[in-house]
Amino acid sequence: MLVLGNPNMPAHDEIRTALHSRGLRVTPQRLAIHGALRALGRHATAEEVLTRVHGTVPGVSLPTVYAGLELLADLGLAARVHAGRAVRFDPRPDPHHHFVCDDCGSVSDLDAEVDLAPALEALRAAGAAPVGAEVLVRGRCGVCAAETATAH
């Protein structure tokens, strides 16, 4: 069984295994994008990944980075986080929840047990076929909340 998102597996081995399992080519651009997202270690935008890989591999443009990040998400090596201002890509692909700051736009992992079964069952009862769910909590992060409190 292929375990994706394995932090103990070297990054290049992980993506090579995932690409080969789907019959896809291993390219320098895909390796660089995957490596950059892992190295950033946070919820990154395509623009941030592009900045990280710019000049390291020829042929890396913003559309290439977007395509690479979408592929990583499809392979289970990253997760898409739709968090307001921009889609971010999370190097942590396991199911978990997120907090988004409405002021600065920061995104952070929220590790909390939440029973999503009633929501999924309601969707199934309505004829939908949900494959998963996550909680997205919005508000002000600690830094922005402190700045707001000191401004008043």
- Its domain, for residue 126, covers 97-151
CATH code, domain carrying 134: 3.30.1490.190
- Domain assignment present for 45: yes
pLDDT digits (tens, 9 = 90+) for 24-37: 999 999 999 999 99
**Both 23 and 68 in a single domain?**
yes
Q: Judge contact between 62 and 24, C-beta under 8 A.
A: no
Residue 71 · residue 32 · CB < 8 Å:
no
| CATH code for the domain of 17 | 1.10.10.10
pLDDT tens per residue across span 79-122: 999 877 789 999 999 989 999 998 988 899 999 999 999 999 99
